[in-house]
Protein backbone atom coordinates (compact mmCIF):
# COMPACT_ATOMS: atom_id res chain seq x y z
CA UNK A 1 0.00 0.00 0.00
CA UNK A 2 1.43 3.34 -1.03
CA UNK A 3 1.86 6.10 1.53
CA UNK A 4 -0.93 8.66 1.29
CA UNK A 5 -0.74 11.98 3.01
CA UNK A 6 -3.96 12.84 4.76
CA UNK A 7 -4.61 16.54 5.21
CA UNK A 8 -4.17 17.24 8.90
CA UNK A 9 -5.04 20.31 10.86
CA UNK A 10 -2.22 20.01 13.35
CA UNK A 11 0.65 22.34 12.62
CA UNK A 12 3.19 19.62 13.40
CA UNK A 13 2.24 17.95 10.10
CA UNK A 14 2.93 21.03 7.98
CA UNK A 15 6.35 19.80 6.87
CA UNK A 16 4.85 16.50 5.68
CA UNK A 17 2.56 18.19 3.16
CA UNK A 18 3.30 19.67 -0.29
CA UNK A 19 5.47 22.38 1.28
CA UNK A 20 8.20 19.80 1.78
CA UNK A 21 8.99 20.07 -1.94
CA UNK A 22 9.88 23.77 -1.70
CA UNK A 23 11.70 23.61 1.63
CA UNK A 24 15.49 23.53 1.64
CA UNK A 25 17.37 20.72 3.36
CA UNK A 26 18.58 23.12 6.05
CA UNK A 27 15.04 24.40 6.72
CA UNK A 28 13.77 20.84 7.14
CA UNK A 29 16.42 20.22 9.78
CA UNK A 30 15.52 23.44 11.61
CA UNK A 31 11.80 22.71 11.59
CA UNK A 32 12.21 19.15 12.84
CA UNK A 33 14.17 20.42 15.84
CA UNK A 34 11.33 22.69 16.99
CA UNK A 35 9.36 21.47 20.00
CA UNK A 36 6.30 23.68 20.46
CA UNK A 37 3.49 24.73 18.13
CA UNK A 38 4.31 28.37 18.85
CA UNK A 39 7.88 27.85 17.60
CA UNK A 40 6.56 26.15 14.48
CA UNK A 41 4.01 28.90 13.81
CA UNK A 42 6.81 31.47 13.95
CA UNK A 43 8.96 29.36 11.64
CA UNK A 44 6.12 29.09 9.09
CA UNK A 45 5.45 32.83 9.21
CA UNK A 46 9.12 33.55 8.54
CA UNK A 47 9.29 30.81 5.88
CA UNK A 48 6.69 32.55 3.70
CA UNK A 49 7.90 36.08 4.45
CA UNK A 50 11.43 35.26 3.28
CA UNK A 51 10.01 34.16 -0.07
CA UNK A 52 7.66 37.12 -0.54
CA UNK A 53 8.82 39.08 -3.63
CA UNK A 54 6.81 42.17 -2.61
CA UNK A 55 6.89 42.37 1.21
CA UNK A 56 5.33 45.85 1.27
CA UNK A 57 1.96 44.54 0.06
CA UNK A 58 -0.65 42.26 1.62
CA UNK A 59 -0.19 39.82 -1.24
CA UNK A 60 2.49 37.12 -1.13
CA UNK A 61 2.79 36.16 -4.79
CA UNK A 62 5.09 33.24 -4.09
CA UNK A 63 2.66 31.62 -1.65
CA UNK A 64 -0.27 32.21 -3.98
CA UNK A 65 1.62 30.58 -6.86
CA UNK A 66 2.58 27.62 -4.67
CA UNK A 67 -1.04 27.03 -3.60
CA UNK A 68 -2.25 27.30 -7.19
CA UNK A 69 0.29 24.69 -8.26
CA UNK A 70 -0.75 22.32 -5.47
CA UNK A 71 -4.41 22.62 -6.51
CA UNK A 72 -3.53 22.04 -10.16
CA UNK A 73 -1.43 19.00 -9.28
CA UNK A 74 -4.25 17.51 -7.20
CA UNK A 75 -6.70 18.03 -10.05
CA UNK A 76 -4.50 16.63 -12.82
CA UNK A 77 -1.91 14.15 -11.53
CA UNK A 78 -3.78 11.83 -9.17
CA UNK A 79 -2.46 8.26 -9.41
CA UNK A 80 -3.64 5.03 -7.82
CA UNK A 81 -3.87 5.88 -4.10
CA UNK A 82 -1.73 8.99 -4.33
CA UNK A 83 -2.98 12.55 -4.22
CA UNK A 84 -1.93 14.54 -7.26
CA UNK A 85 0.67 16.53 -5.32
CA UNK A 86 2.28 13.27 -4.11
CA UNK A 87 2.82 11.93 -7.62
CA UNK A 88 6.12 12.53 -9.41
CA UNK A 89 4.55 14.92 -11.90
CA UNK A 90 2.93 16.78 -9.02
CA UNK A 91 6.30 17.09 -7.28
CA UNK A 92 7.98 18.46 -10.39
CA UNK A 93 5.10 20.80 -11.22
CA UNK A 94 5.06 22.34 -7.72
CA UNK A 95 8.81 23.05 -7.82
CA UNK A 96 9.40 23.82 -11.49
CA UNK A 97 6.01 25.06 -12.66
CA UNK A 98 4.34 24.09 -15.94
CA UNK A 99 6.60 22.71 -18.67
CA UNK A 100 7.00 24.59 -21.95
CA UNK A 101 5.34 21.68 -23.69
CA UNK A 102 4.53 18.00 -23.21
CA UNK A 103 4.92 15.05 -25.58
CA UNK A 104 3.82 11.43 -25.27
CA UNK A 105 5.16 8.55 -27.34
CA UNK A 106 6.14 4.93 -27.14
CA UNK A 107 9.77 4.36 -26.32
CA UNK A 108 12.23 1.75 -25.12
CA UNK A 109 13.24 1.37 -21.49
CA UNK A 110 16.46 -0.54 -20.99
CA UNK A 111 17.36 -2.44 -17.88
CA UNK A 112 19.78 -5.15 -16.85
CA UNK A 113 16.90 -7.60 -17.22
CA UNK A 114 15.20 -6.65 -20.47
CA UNK A 115 14.34 -4.00 -23.00
CA UNK A 116 10.66 -3.18 -23.22
CA UNK A 117 8.47 -0.60 -24.86
CA UNK A 118 6.44 1.78 -22.71
CA UNK A 119 4.38 4.92 -23.13
CA UNK A 120 6.71 7.74 -22.10
CA UNK A 121 5.70 11.28 -21.06
CA UNK A 122 8.22 13.97 -21.96
CA UNK A 123 8.22 17.35 -20.18
CA UNK A 124 10.31 20.04 -21.85
CA UNK A 125 11.47 23.19 -20.06
CA UNK A 126 12.77 25.76 -22.50
CA UNK A 127 14.27 27.84 -19.68
CA UNK A 128 14.67 25.56 -16.66
CA UNK A 129 14.90 27.26 -13.26
CA UNK A 130 18.09 25.42 -12.42
CA UNK A 131 21.28 25.38 -14.50
CA UNK A 132 21.62 21.77 -13.38
CA UNK A 133 18.90 20.96 -15.90
CA UNK A 134 20.13 21.52 -19.41
CA UNK A 135 17.77 23.53 -21.59
CA UNK A 136 15.48 21.33 -23.67
CA UNK A 137 16.68 18.10 -22.08
CA UNK A 138 13.34 16.44 -21.35
CA UNK A 139 12.18 15.07 -18.04
CA UNK A 140 10.83 11.61 -18.78
CA UNK A 141 8.03 9.94 -16.84
CA UNK A 142 7.09 6.29 -17.25
CA UNK A 143 5.04 3.63 -15.49
CA UNK A 144 8.23 1.66 -14.93
CA UNK A 145 7.02 -0.53 -12.08
CA UNK A 146 3.64 -1.40 -13.63
CA UNK A 147 1.79 -0.16 -10.56
CA UNK A 148 -0.11 2.82 -11.98
CA UNK A 149 2.49 5.44 -11.00
CA UNK A 150 4.42 7.59 -13.43
CA UNK A 151 7.91 7.96 -11.94
CA UNK A 152 10.51 10.47 -13.07
CA UNK A 153 13.27 8.42 -14.65
CA UNK A 154 16.94 9.26 -14.05
CA UNK A 155 18.48 11.51 -16.70
CA UNK A 156 20.29 9.94 -19.64
CA UNK A 157 22.31 7.79 -19.53
CA UNK A 158 20.04 5.99 -17.09
CA UNK A 159 21.38 3.88 -14.27
CA UNK A 160 19.50 0.70 -15.20
CA UNK A 161 21.00 -1.34 -12.35
CA UNK A 162 19.79 1.15 -9.74
CA UNK A 163 16.26 1.11 -11.17
CA UNK A 164 16.17 -2.68 -11.21
CA UNK A 165 17.42 -2.73 -7.63
CA UNK A 166 14.47 -0.57 -6.65
CA UNK A 167 12.09 -3.04 -8.27
CA UNK A 168 13.20 -5.70 -5.80
CA UNK A 169 12.40 -3.51 -2.80
CA UNK A 170 9.03 -2.97 -1.16
CA UNK A 171 6.79 -0.59 -3.16
CA UNK A 172 6.83 2.01 -0.40
CA UNK A 173 10.56 2.49 -1.03
CA UNK A 174 10.25 3.25 -4.74
CA UNK A 175 11.58 6.66 -5.61
CA UNK A 176 8.91 8.88 -7.13
CA UNK A 177 11.57 11.25 -8.46
CA UNK A 178 15.03 10.08 -9.46
CA UNK A 179 17.58 11.23 -6.91
CA UNK A 180 19.71 12.87 -9.60
CA UNK A 181 17.15 15.69 -9.83
CA UNK A 182 17.08 16.56 -6.14
CA UNK A 183 20.15 18.79 -6.40
CA UNK A 184 18.41 20.78 -9.10
CA UNK A 185 15.29 21.18 -6.99
CA UNK A 186 17.34 22.22 -3.96
CA UNK A 187 18.95 24.96 -6.05
CA UNK A 188 15.52 26.21 -7.14
CA UNK A 189 14.30 26.26 -3.53
CA UNK A 190 17.31 28.27 -2.38
CA UNK A 191 16.88 30.75 -5.21
CA UNK A 192 13.25 31.31 -4.15
CA UNK A 193 14.37 32.86 -0.87
CA UNK A 194 14.22 36.61 -1.53
CA UNK A 195 15.06 37.86 1.97
CA UNK A 196 17.36 35.30 3.65
CA UNK A 197 18.35 37.63 6.50
CA UNK A 198 14.77 38.48 7.53
CA UNK A 199 13.97 37.77 11.19
CA UNK A 200 10.79 37.57 13.22
CA UNK A 201 11.77 40.79 14.97
CA UNK A 202 11.90 42.48 11.58
CA UNK A 203 8.37 41.32 10.77
CA UNK A 204 6.82 42.36 14.07
CA UNK A 205 8.68 45.65 14.13
CA UNK A 206 7.61 46.40 10.59
CA UNK A 207 3.92 45.98 11.42
CA UNK A 208 4.21 48.56 14.19
CA UNK A 209 6.47 51.06 12.44
CA UNK A 210 4.44 51.14 9.23
CA UNK A 211 1.23 51.71 11.15
CA UNK A 212 2.72 54.35 13.43
CA UNK A 213 4.27 56.22 10.52
CA UNK A 214 0.96 56.34 8.71
CA UNK A 215 -1.37 57.53 11.45
CA UNK A 216 0.26 57.45 14.88
CA UNK A 217 -2.97 56.05 16.34
CA UNK A 218 -6.08 54.08 15.51
CA UNK A 219 -8.51 56.78 14.32
CA UNK A 220 -12.26 56.33 14.74
CA UNK A 221 -15.54 58.23 14.96
CA UNK A 222 -18.50 57.63 17.21
CA UNK A 223 -22.07 58.70 17.82
CA UNK A 224 -24.76 57.93 20.39
CA UNK A 225 -28.53 58.00 20.67
CA UNK A 226 -30.74 57.59 23.74
CA UNK A 227 -33.75 55.35 24.37
CA UNK A 228 -35.81 56.02 27.55
CA UNK A 229 -36.84 52.90 29.46
CA UNK A 230 -39.82 52.36 31.74
CA UNK A 231 -37.66 52.23 34.89
CA UNK A 232 -36.39 55.75 34.32
CA UNK A 233 -33.01 54.69 32.97
CA UNK A 234 -31.67 55.58 29.55
CA UNK A 235 -30.25 53.09 27.09
CA UNK A 236 -27.25 54.70 25.42
CA UNK A 237 -26.75 53.15 21.98
CA UNK A 238 -23.25 53.66 20.63
CA UNK A 239 -21.89 53.25 17.12
CA UNK A 240 -18.10 53.35 16.75
CA UNK A 241 -16.77 53.57 13.20
CA UNK A 242 -13.24 52.96 11.93
CA UNK A 243 -11.89 52.22 8.48
CA UNK A 244 -10.65 48.75 7.59
CA UNK A 245 -7.58 50.30 5.95
CA UNK A 246 -6.58 51.93 9.26
CA UNK A 247 -6.27 48.56 11.00
CA UNK A 248 -2.99 46.64 11.20
CA UNK A 249 -3.32 43.01 10.13
CA UNK A 250 -1.19 39.97 10.77
CA UNK A 251 -1.14 36.94 8.51
CA UNK A 252 -1.89 33.44 9.72
CA UNK A 253 -1.89 30.77 7.05
CA UNK A 254 -4.00 32.26 4.23
CA UNK A 255 -6.02 34.71 6.35
CA UNK A 256 -5.38 38.29 7.44
CA UNK A 257 -6.38 38.89 11.04
CA UNK A 258 -6.72 41.67 13.59
CA UNK A 259 -7.82 41.59 17.24
CA UNK A 260 -9.23 44.81 18.69
CA UNK A 261 -10.27 45.59 22.26
CA UNK A 262 -13.12 48.09 22.73
CA UNK A 263 -13.57 49.83 26.08
CA UNK A 264 -16.31 52.41 26.76
CA UNK A 265 -16.55 54.08 30.19
CA UNK A 266 -19.10 56.59 31.49
CA UNK A 267 -18.01 58.69 34.47
CA UNK A 268 -20.07 61.07 36.51
CA UNK A 269 -18.87 64.61 35.97
CA UNK A 270 -19.54 65.35 39.63
CA UNK A 271 -17.28 63.09 41.66
CA UNK A 272 -15.72 61.28 38.71
CA UNK A 273 -17.11 57.87 39.68
CA UNK A 274 -17.46 55.15 37.06
CA UNK A 275 -21.17 54.78 36.30
CA UNK A 276 -21.19 52.27 33.42
CA UNK A 277 -18.68 50.27 31.43
CA UNK A 278 -18.67 48.28 28.20
CA UNK A 279 -15.84 45.90 27.29
CA UNK A 280 -15.72 43.88 24.11
CA UNK A 281 -13.33 42.28 21.64
CA UNK A 282 -13.65 42.30 17.87
CA UNK A 283 -11.80 39.67 15.86
CA UNK A 284 -11.37 40.22 12.14
CA UNK A 285 -10.46 37.37 9.79
CA UNK A 286 -10.39 38.04 6.05
CA UNK A 287 -8.98 36.49 2.92
CA UNK A 288 -6.80 38.70 0.77
CA UNK A 289 -9.67 39.24 -1.67
CA UNK A 290 -12.04 40.24 1.14
CA UNK A 291 -9.46 42.58 2.60
CA UNK A 292 -8.88 44.34 -0.71
CA UNK A 293 -12.65 44.65 -1.25
CA UNK A 294 -13.05 46.32 2.17
CA UNK A 295 -10.23 48.82 1.63
CA UNK A 296 -12.74 51.67 1.26
CA UNK A 297 -15.32 50.36 3.73
CA UNK A 298 -15.92 51.01 7.42
CA UNK A 299 -16.09 48.67 10.36
CA UNK A 300 -19.04 49.54 12.59
CA UNK A 301 -19.11 48.44 16.19
CA UNK A 302 -22.41 48.72 18.09
CA UNK A 303 -22.91 48.51 21.83
CA UNK A 304 -25.05 49.95 24.59
CA UNK A 305 -24.97 51.04 28.25
CA UNK A 306 -27.68 51.75 30.82
CA UNK A 307 -27.50 54.90 32.97
CA UNK A 308 -29.73 57.47 34.61
CA UNK A 309 -30.19 60.83 32.88
CA UNK A 310 -27.37 63.24 33.64
CA UNK A 311 -24.08 64.76 32.55
CA UNK A 312 -21.24 62.34 32.00
CA UNK A 313 -17.74 62.06 30.68
CA UNK A 314 -17.47 59.33 28.04
CA UNK A 315 -14.11 57.68 27.46
CA UNK A 316 -13.74 55.39 24.42
CA UNK A 317 -10.57 53.37 23.88
CA UNK A 318 -9.75 51.04 20.98
CA UNK A 319 -6.58 48.98 21.27
CA UNK A 320 -4.94 46.63 18.79
CA UNK A 321 -3.98 43.57 20.86
CA UNK A 322 -1.05 42.60 18.64
CA UNK A 323 0.63 45.92 17.88
CA UNK A 324 -0.57 47.61 21.11
CA UNK A 325 -1.52 50.68 19.07
CA UNK A 326 -4.46 52.41 20.74
CA UNK A 327 -6.55 55.55 20.55
CA UNK A 328 -8.64 57.14 23.30
CA UNK A 329 -11.29 59.81 22.98
CA UNK A 330 -12.67 61.59 26.07
CA UNK A 331 -15.66 63.92 25.71
CA UNK A 332 -18.65 65.27 27.60
CA UNK A 333 -21.91 63.38 27.07
CA UNK A 334 -25.29 64.71 28.17
CA UNK A 335 -27.71 61.81 28.57
CA UNK A 336 -31.36 62.88 28.52
CA UNK A 337 -34.72 61.29 27.86
CA UNK A 338 -35.23 62.81 24.42
CA UNK A 339 -34.89 60.26 21.62
CA UNK A 340 -32.88 61.71 18.74
pLDDT at 183: 83
Run of H or E including 316: strand 310-320
pLDDT at 309: 92
Name the DSSP letter for residue 195.
-
pLDDT at 5: 38
pLDDT at 12: 62
Q: Give the residue among 261, 256, 243, 240 at the shortest CA–CA distance from 207.
A: 256
What are the E-state strand segments in 144-233? 151-152, 221-228
Question: Mind listing the pLDDT tens digit of every residue in the chain (340 residues)?
Answer: 223 333 444 566 789 999 999 999 999 999 999 988 888 988 998 999 999 998 766 678 899 899 999 999 999 999 888 899 999 999 999 999 999 889 888 866 655 445 566 778 989 888 767 666 765 578 888 887 777 788 888 775 444 444 444 444 444 445 688 777 888 899 899 999 999 998 877 776 444 333 333 344 788 999 998 889 988 899 999 999 999 988 888 877 778 889 999 999 999 987 788 999 999 999 999 888 888 888 789 999 999 999 999 999 999 999 998 888 889 999 999 988 654 4
pLDDT at 76: 93
Q: What angle do CA 73, 76, 81 make, to 5 degrees?
A: 85
Going by their DSSP bridges, the two strands 139-142 and 151-152 should be labelled as: antiparallel
pLDDT at 156: 59
pLDDT at 331: 92
Name the DSSP letter for residue 144.
T
Q: What structural domains and CATH numbers belong to the chain?
A: 11-191 (no CATH), 201-335 (2.60.40.3880)
Q: Which residues contact 208 (CB under 8 A, 6 or more apart)?
A: 248, 323, 324, 325
pLDDT at 192: 93
Amino acid sequence: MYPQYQKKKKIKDWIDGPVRYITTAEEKKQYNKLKTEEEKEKFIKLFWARRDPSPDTYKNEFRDKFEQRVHFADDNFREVKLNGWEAARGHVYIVMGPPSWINKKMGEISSTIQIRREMLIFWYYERPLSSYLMGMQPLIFAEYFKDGRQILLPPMPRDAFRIDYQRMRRPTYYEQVAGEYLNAFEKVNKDNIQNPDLTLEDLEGKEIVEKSARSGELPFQWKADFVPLSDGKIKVNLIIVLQYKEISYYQKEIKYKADLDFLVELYQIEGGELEAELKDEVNIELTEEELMAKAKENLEYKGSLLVLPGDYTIKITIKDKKTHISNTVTEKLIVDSITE
